[in-house]
A and B are shown apart, each in its own frame.
Chain A
Amino acid sequence: MIFGRIKDVNACRLPTGGEIDRRRALSFSFDGRSYTGYAGDTLASALLANGVTLVGRSFKYHRPRGIFSAGPEEPNALVELRRDGRQEPNTRATMAELFHGLEATSQNRWPSLALDAMELNDLAGRFLVAGFYYKTFMGFPGWHFYEKRIRAAAGMGKATTELDPDTYERQSAHCDVLVVGGGPSGLAAALTAGRSGARVILVEETDGLGGRLRSERETLGGVPAMRWVAQARAELESLPEVRILTRTTAFGYYDDNMIGAVERVADHLPVPPPHVPRQRLWHIRAGRVVLATGAIERHIAFPHNDRPGVMLAGAVRTYLHRFAVRPGRRAVVVANNDDGYRTALDLRAAGVEVIKVADTRPAGPSAWRERCAAAGIEVTDHAAVTRVHGRLAVIGCDIAPLDGSARPVFEPCDLLAVSGGWSPAVHLHTHALGKIDWDDGLAAFVPGAARQAHVSVGAARGAYSLSACLADGFKAGAEMAQAMGFTTGAVPDTPASDEPDQRPIQAFWAVGSGKKRFVDLQDDVTADDIALAHREGFVSVEHLKRYTTLGMGTDQGKTSNIIGHALMAEARGEPIPQVGTTRFRPPYTPVALGAFAGGDRGRHHTPERRSALHDWHAANGATFVEAGHWLRPQYYLAPEEPAGKQSMDVAITREVQAVRNAVGLVDVSTLGKIDIQGPDAGELLNRLYANGFKTLAVGKARYGLMLREDGIVYDDGTTSRLGEHHYLMTTTTAHAGDVMALIEWYLQVVWPELDVHACSVTEQWAAMALAGPKARDVLAAVVDDGADVSDAALPFMGVIEARIAGVPVRIFRISFSGELSYEINAPADWGTRVWEALAAAGQPHGLRPYGTEAMAILRIEKGHVTHAELDGRVTLDDAGMGRMASSKKWFVGSGMLDKPAFTDPARPKLVGLVPVDGKTRIPAGAILVADPEVPVPPGQLGPEKLGHVSSSAYLSPTVGHPIALGFVSGGPTRRGETVWALFPLRKQEIEVRIADPVFVDPEGGRLRG
């Protein structure tokens, strides 16, 4: 980017005034051309200062568009900012603070802004009315065919696909009084609340305080009102319990007085300084909320009211006073209220030629009008602009009397200031489910009854005069502090302002005829579209919105909704309150997703759990796999083995063979472990598990199955009795947290009479399983003091305590692999010491560590179920474990086991599956059918489903071919039959034979050995 060539330095900048710092010039570029602005500028004010008025193309018709407003309501001037990972589309130029080197690009134009090929859409506009796309493109070959092309032609900016290099963070805050808006009302409220000692947070969307006062020439007590603002700020900053957050938008008002706000910490800088986030999301929980959110000006729908150079009257004053920018040389003002006069006077004072003020109201007394007349500004009563001339910029307009008494008169101008009145910014009030009422006198919706603890003050409730704003704010701040228990002094007197009284607004929404009277500039919705929606029956505001897209842009119709709804009311011949308005929903203005994500991205998106043995795995060639939040070793590679699928298959085979033929060691720390103690511990287990636990002896373990209340199998694991009143329950890795919560539920809510305590100890123990024919040899060699681990002393399902390498351990003789196996629990901090001792003792026997892949193959070979089988649809009978359910006792879920659906003989039941060809892998998730060649009956999506494949071992080193577990209707009775496993995503059809689910050692001799 070349910033050297600086053209036409600020041709439209006023010589004095404004909040800009003329000593700090900033270079920036727009569409590749370099310009200069000043510190304190927004992108919009800097562009206007450089005479750039054409900044974008409209959404649908690709009409040239300029800068329409000076605030968050901007519908037109949406640009792309920055580049690469920081590229940000649809940014409002009116809210983007200028910084040195800012790169901005216009959107939705090709090949260039001034020459946009898609402007043909504008000429074809008579066809592109509301509903056009739906009506036209629903036919052959279908909406989905056209949608892509339509979206490419009509559109917004492009989001980057690169990683955002900046950081975002979240912060919570509590306060007694939250004040939203740093204008006169908000400052007054913060002052009286803050003086009481209450904790006050004041949030202000822009970079400075003052609100509308920054945009006006008002005085208070004879001095410029901004001097009062400076004093107020200084006092607030001196109060220790008051916090001021500028560049912060309160975007949503949520339940229980929680306000969401986004602080643009570094948006005004080229890049955030080190350790500073780009944006910060605030969750502010407030005792009371003062909504001093101000009001938003509306325009009037007249033909071609969207041309660059048409600008809201209040925004014109903002550019004049805050930015010292003259948005034009020759201005016409059209208004239905006194604000037009204020703008005309300010333009005149800034040296802009004011051709005429057209007041839509019939002649009447107005102090503002008198001031204009005294200044020699021509005023035409009961008249309006009926057409705008010019395409890329305004070159003039027609002004005609509204009673039709004379022909329109052409007035040359390059700026057309419009005021259609102001709408209080009731957005947050309605987020909090507050009602809104139509005020005929203001021609606006004003806040009605509040549902939460908040109050709207000043312009946000339709009290527009400065003195009313201040009085409102002082009173509300004091009342809200009092409501929170603080004592306030007398409400201060309001300093005198010099503003004259206002003459009431006229409800005046649209004038003239023709297709291009824009209501919603961002969505290209015209007055005719509203009429069309009415003719076609979309008469409710909600239907109107969806049919025409009124208010559905990124500006959410801030300037347009009321106009659209008022025109619909006119068309229906009903008053506006009866027609109603759509509800505002958060966010008030767009919020970057990054702000919501905060630090929860990448590796920080979810917590990562590591077993106590993790570092050993990492140092010994483990490839890790995510299992829920856990990282578990998937398989282990030797240092010389290259990573890849081939090495993986070799490694898994090697690990399975080690367990079947020698000995293996696996980390099972992730299994849930719950310590259960108390006189009623046995009773609790007996109620939770479907099988009996009353008879479990001390020093013994038992496999247990838990059902849900509806009778479906929930979880399984072994539970051991460590003492008279002491048990250790294990759960699956997946359900560890849920089973703990469930036990708490039963103990606290259902059976509070049971004298038993439960505590999760998953992370307190490192757990490892030593499995294989040589397991006992390894264990015997490693236990301290020659502890007896013989079959007699530690039989299958026995539990002992011992020491390994000096570490006290619990040894459980249980088996998931089907081999002779010991599960050893060691205190987590000593886990690695025990693991290393076992690994060393196993070396002479060929011990290998094994990962989750080998573990899965081993258990599939044994037909052991996991959550892949116990998937929330399976009964005990389905899983082949019906006989385990105790008939002697009641247990959770037992009352639901007789449901007809549970006893249906057609239910799919657990079986083993092998490929008929002896080699094809059977993918888990495949659907089992009898014969894929049988024609599908009409009305049915596919062949009749007999079941599905739940788990698959692509290679079973022990069996010698792929095997799988699955559920098939009829279950074991179909053993030996062949069915087909269909996997349509990969177009696979595999013939499989139904087998016993236990492929290895069905008698269980190995694990008892």
Chain B
Amino acid sequence: MIRITCPHCGPRDQDEFSYAGDATRTRPADPATASAADWHDYVYLRDNPAGPHLEFWHHIHGCRRYVKVLRDVTSHQVLACGWPDADLEAAQ
């Protein structure tokens, strides 16, 4: 069971969180004018890297804040945690 450091609560067990998806996708900047291709890309397309991966976790049994996590999916090692707008890769 991995440990995730919630920026609000500190290090907590994984079972306090629920996975909330890929954090590398960028939402179309202007949803009103975004093309179908933009939406298709945002909604459906995901990379599947072997190595560090940015993802969101929801501290659903804690403070209910969303946490951005940089995690190596090959070793489960959590490399960095931060608020949703944090640039975790740059901090590495």
Contacts and interface: CB of A to CB of B under 8 A. Distances in A.
Interface string A256-286: 1010000000000000000000000001010
Contacts of B34: 895
A896 B43 contact: yes
A709 B43 CA distance: 7
Interface string A171-208: 00000000000000000000000000000000000000
A899 B35 CA distance: 12
Contact of A741 (B27, B58, B75): B58
A535 interface: no
17 contacts: A255-B2, A255-B76, A255-B77, A256-B1, A256-B78, A285-B3, A285-B13, A709-B39, A744-B66, A745-B20, A750-B27, A895-B28, A895-B31, A895-B39, A896-B36, A898-B36, A899-B36
Nearest to B64: A744
A254 interface: yes
A752 B85 CA distance: 10
B31 A890 contact: yes
A748 B66 contact: yes
B64 A433 contact: no
Interface residues of B, number: 31
A255 B1 contact: yes
A744 B58 contact: yes
A766 B13 CA distance: 34
B3 to A, nearest CB: 4
A890 B33 CA distance: 9
A83 interface: no
Given A433-B75, A896-B39, A741 B60 contact: yes
B84 interface: yes
A749 interface: yes
A710 interface: yes
A624 to B, nearest CB: 27
A557 B84 CA distance: 47
A614 to B, nearest CB: 24
Of the listed residues A256, A745, A752, the one surrounded by the most CB atoms of chain B closer than 10 A to its CB is A256
Contacts of A745: 20, 58, 66
A744 B84 CA distance: 12
A745 B58 CA distance: 8
Interface in B11-27: 13-14, 18, 20, 27
Interface residues of A, number: 23
A890 B28 CA distance: 12
Nearest to A260: B1
A749 B18 CA distance: 15
A254 B2 CA distance: 8
Contacts of B65: 748
A451 interface: yes
Of the listed residues A285, A451, A748, the one surrounded by the most CB atoms of chain B closer than 10 A to its CB is A748
Nearest to A256: B3
B42 to A, nearest CB: 8
Interface in A218-262: 254-256, 258
A748 B84 CA distance: 8
Contacts of B58: 741, 744-745
Contacts of A890: 31-32
Contacts of A898: 36
A131 B39 CA distance: 53
B19 to A, nearest CB: 12
A56 B56 CA distance: 53
Contact of B1 (A258, A710, A741, A896): A258
Contacts of B75: 433, 451
Interface string B29-53: 0011010101110111000000000
Contacts of A433: 75
Given A741-B58, A895-B28, A898-B36, A749 B66 contact: yes
A431 to B, nearest CB: 12
Interface string A278-301: 000001010000000000000000
Interface in A423-447: 433
A33 to B, nearest CB: 46
Contacts of A748: 65-66, 84
A890 B1 CA distance: 41
A451 B75 CA distance: 9
Contacts of A254: 1
A894 B85 CA distance: 25
B43 A256 contact: no
Nearest to B56: A749
A194 B3 CA distance: 25
B66 A256 contact: no
Contacts of A451: 75
Of the listed residues A285, A744, A749, the one surrounded by the most CB atoms of chain B closer than 10 A to its CB is A749
Contacts of B28: 895
B30 to A, nearest CB: 9
Given A710-B44, A895-B39, 15 more contacts: A255-B14, A256-B1, A709-B43, A710-B43, A744-B66, A745-B20, A748-B65, A749-B84, A752-B84, A890-B31, A894-B31, A895-B38, A896-B39, A896-B40, A899-B36
A895 B44 CA distance: 13
Contacts of B56: 749
B57 to A, nearest CB: 12
A752 B68 CA distance: 15
Contacts of A710: 43-44
A698 to B, nearest CB: 27
Contacts of A709: 39, 42-43
A717 B39 CA distance: 26
Contacts of A749: 56, 66, 84
Interface in A730-747: 741, 744-745
A745 B60 CA distance: 11
Of the listed residues B34, B39, B66, the one surrounded by the most CB atoms of chain A closer than 10 A to its CB is B39
A484 to B, nearest CB: 15
A286 to B, nearest CB: 12
B1 A283 contact: yes
